[in-house]
Amino acid sequence: MSLLSFKLRPAPVRLRRLRSQADEAQDVGFTASSKRALRAASQISTRQSLAKQGLRIGRTPVGKGLFATKRIVDGACIGEIHGLVIDDDEYVSRYAFDLDDGRQLEPEAPFRYVNHSCEPNCAFQNFSFAPLPASPKRPEAAPRRKLLLFSICDIAVGQELTIDYNWPAIFAIPCDCRSAGCRGWIVTPKDLAQLLDVALAVPGRGLGVSP
Q: Once rounded to an integer, what is the mean pLDDT over residues 175-203?
A: 84
What pLDDT is recorded for position 146? 83
Indicate the range of 13-17, 108-112, 179-183 predicted with least confidence: 13-17
Give the pLDDT confidence score for residue 30 in this predicted structure. 43
Per-residue model confidence (pLDDT) at position 116: 95
pLDDT confidence band for 197 (50 / 70 / 90): confident
Q: What is residue 164's predicted lDDT score, i.e. its pLDDT?
A: 95
Which tens digit of pLDDT belongs to each residue from 116-175? 999 999 999 887 666 666 666 665 655 667 889 999 999 999 999 999 999 888 888 899
Residue range 3-20: mean pLDDT, rounded: 37
Residue 170's pLDDT is: 85
Contact yes or no for 53/79 (Cβ under 8 A): yes
pLDDT tens sequence across 173-184: 899 999 999 999
Residue 34 has a pLDDT of: 47
Rg of the chain over CA atoms, in angstroms?
21
pLDDT tens, position by position, 112-122: 999 999 999 99
More confident residue, 193 or 137: 193
| Cβ count within 10 A of residue 106 | 14
Q: How confident is the model at residue 10 (pLDDT cuts 50, 70, 90)?
A: very low
pLDDT tens for residues 23-72? 444 444 445 554 454 454 445 445 668 888 899 999 999 999 999 999 99
Compute the distance between CA of residue 173 and CA of residue 175 in angstroms, rounded to an integer.
Answer: 6
Mean pLDDT score, 106-117: 93
Taking the alpha carbons of 55, 56, 57, 61 in that order, is the dihedral positive or negative?
negative
pLDDT of residue 176: 92
Burial code (b: 16+ CB inside 10 Å, e: under 16) for 139-148 equals: eeeeeeeebe
Q: Is the pLDDT of residue 210 over 80?
A: no
